Amino acid sequence: MTENSLRRLWKEDKAALGAWLSIPDSFSAEVMARAGYDWLCIDMQHGLVDYQRAVPMLQAISTTRTAPVVRVPWNDPAIIMKVLDAGAQAVIVPLINTRADTELAVSACRYPPRGIRSYGPTRAGLGGGYFERAEESVCCIPMIETASALENLDDILSVPGVDAIYVGPMDLSLSLGLEPKPDREGDAVYSEALGHILEACRRHGVAAGIHAGSRMAAKRVADGFRFVLVSSDVDLLARNAAQELRAAREAASSPVRD
């Protein structure tokens, strides 16, 4: 069973830098994994990925040392258990609002007596030793992205088995009555919410994560976030495709000098 590098980095108080995978393709996942990210998250919530596509993507990521993460579509024990059995080392669970929500997510990630996870690591168990190391390898990561989650933050973070949280800036902004933007740097209400989350995570010994992007990643690490998104497959493809085309058109329209 491959070591989950996320736990090692967090134990050393180092930031794990990762990327989002929304394209349902194993080859693009492999390309991203070979770029050297600490983690890659297969997005089954808003990405175009279903379970059948997620499995070969997990296989592709496992050819590298990058930690395979899955954001499940909902706080549903059935799909949480299934992606863990397929080889996910961490599960991001969206729209967690209460302690009860958190306990349900954690229990799906842990075998009895700590949880309700059914034993059957069909792919994850290849190579042996999975059960003995599952407790130390699998990470449960609730998303903090609503005003209700902020109000219940201490209850959420105090649930045994929560390894990290992940801030969704868009939904958090909406929940605070703000326009959804990936970065609200300078907005007092949003900045206060992030500060509250960071302080609570420090108190409870839980790693704080956030959707950041390359422009804000360094600042978020300096703020104290230790699970930071740098880029995504869709953004990299769209942005670089546009840049390459623009450069080619500018070059083609320039006068040729003898």
Catalytic residues: 46
- 240, 257 Cβ separation under 8 angstroms: no
Q: Kindly give, in sequence order, each residue whose CB lies less than 8 Å from that of residue 148, ignoring residues fewer than 6 positions away.
A: 97, 98, 175
Displacement of CA 229 from its chain's centroid (Å): 7
Instruction: Look up residue 212 and give its amino acid.
Output: A
Displacement of CA 33 from its chain's centroid (Å): 14
CA distances from 21 to 71, 222, 225, 236 (A): 10, 25, 20, 11
Tokens of 170: 């868009």
Q: Is 205 helix (H, G, I), strand (E, B) or coil?
A: coil
What sections of the chain are H helices per DSSP? 5-11, 26-33, 51-61, 77-85, 99-109, 130-137, 147-151, 153-157, 169-175, 188-204, 214-223, 233-253
